[in-house]
Every structure is written in C-alpha cells, then in structure tokens.
Structure 1
Amino acid sequence: MVLFILLVAAYGLLVRRPLDKILAERRARTVGAVEQARGAISAAEAETAVYEDKLRAAKSEIFQVRDQKLKQWNAERDQALGEVRASMQARIRTARQEIETSTAAARQQIEGLSAELSMQILRAVLPAGVASTEAPQ
C-alpha cells in the first residue's frame, strides 16, 4: 500500500504536474489563437465594410457622371433637332413662297393664253367680218 501511495505521489510529481502544465499551455495557445483568429476576422469584416462603402461611393459617382453625360447628350440632341426644325421651317416657307409665285405666274400666263385662245376660237367659228368687229371688246 505504501508502495502504491509512493507510486501515485511519484506519478503526480513526475508525470501529472508537467502534463497539466503542458496542457494548460496548449489550451492558452489555442484560446489565444482562436481570439487572434476572431480579431483577424473582425478586422477583415471592417476592411470589407470600408471596401464596400468605397465601392458604393464609386458606383454612385459613376452613375452621376453617366446621368450628366446623358443629360448633356440629350440637350445636344434637342438643340440639334431644334436647329434642324428651324432650318426645315425656313425651307418650307421658302418653298411655299416659290409655289405661290409660280402659281401667280401660271395664273397670269393662263389668263393671257385664255384671252388669246378665245380670240382664235372666235375667229375660227365666226365669219371673218363679224370676228373683226367683235375683237376690240
């Protein structure tokens, strides 16, 4: 029994205490590593959040620039369309004036030709003496 107690005491001094010390050290290292990993994860999450904020800001800026360009292009297009419309209106007015001038000239020509044609018809239909007395009218 004494030998057993000496064996248990020797086991406690020689094996158990160094083993407990090594296990406590490993546990401390493991817990430290876990805490360090958690710290690294939280730092990575913080950097990810900063990156996402920068990304959102960059996207917002890109969309604003794009919207400004679209507005500028639309304004330029509207201006060009306005210029074309004004030009076409001027061409239409010019064409209408030309048509009115041509119409007036055609009417005058028709009136002149109709008087001459009337005279020719009268000469052809009426005898020569009657046509000459009717001509001055």
Structure 2
Amino acid sequence: FFFIFLRWAFWRPLERVLAERRAATEGAHREADQLLGQADEKLRHYEEALRRARAEIYRQQEAARQQALDERARILRDTREKANQMVRQAKLDIANDVALAKKELEAESRRLAEEITRTLLEPARRGGRA
C-alpha cells in the first residue's frame, strides 16, 4: 500500500514534471535546430547576395577598364591620323615649294641666259668685237 501511495503521490507527479521538462527540452532543441536552419539559410542568402554584389562590382570595374582602354585606343588612333595628315600636308607643302623653286630657277636661268647672250652678242651687232 505504501508503495502505491508513494507511486501516486510522489512518482507520478515527478514523472509528469520530468516528462514536461523533457518535452520542453526537446521542443527547445527542435526550436534551436529550426533557428539554426533559418540562420544557415539567411547566411546562404547573404553569401549569395555578397557574391553577386562582388561579381557586379568586378563586372563594372572591367567595363570601366575596357572603356578606358577603348578611349585610349581612340585617342591614339586620332592622334596618329592627325600626325599622318600633318606629314602628308608637310610633304605637299615641300613638293609645292620645290616646284615653285624649280620654276623660279628656270625663269632666272632663262633671264641670265638671255642677259649673257645679249652681253655677248651686243658688241657683235655694233660692228666690232670687244
């Protein structure tokens, strides 16, 4: 009888309290596991967002670098073209100067030849030699 009384008065309430604590502990463990799972999921989302942001930054940096290289190439191309144009123009100017100098030399040569001829032939026309 004493055993039944102890069981009813002491062990059953103790077992009930232990069962409640076990249920609460297991529930806390499940909740902790669930929270850890949510934290892991949030961490994965954060890491993915960070990876995408880094990739976008790298893409933008590469685009800016490529744009700078393209601009540099364009400036070099334009500068080369201007330099080539200046060289072509200088060659034309030199060719024109050479042609003009040749014409002037030809004209001067003719004038000198006529003057020399006149000087040499003038005394002969006057009837005598110098």
TM-score, normalising length from structure 2?
A: 0.64
The CA deviation string for residues 43-99 of structure 1, in whole angstroms up to 9 with x for no partner, is 111111222222222222222222222221111111100111112223333455566
For 1:38, the aligned partner's letter is D
Aligned to 1:46: 41
* Structure 2 residue runs without a partner (length 5+): 109-130
Deviates more, 1:13-22 or 1:66-75: 66-75
Partners of 1:92 and 1:10 in 2: how far apart?
Answer: 120
Matched, 1:62 2:57: yes
Partners of 1:38 and 1:92 in 2: how far apart?
Answer: 79
The sequence identity of aligned pairs, in percent, is 30
Cα RMSD (Å): 2.8
Aligned to 1:25: 20
Give the C-alpha shift of residue 32 in structure 1.
Answer: 0.1
Structure with bigger RCO (C-alpha 8 Å, 6+ apart): 1
* Structure 1 residue runs without a partner (length 5+): 113-137
Aligned to 1:88: 83
Give the C-alpha shift of residue 35 in structure 1.
Answer: 0.1
Aligned to 2:119: none
Runs of 4+ displaced beyond 4 Å: 94-105
Partners of 1:42 and 1:9 in 2: how far apart?
Answer: 46
Aligned residues: 105
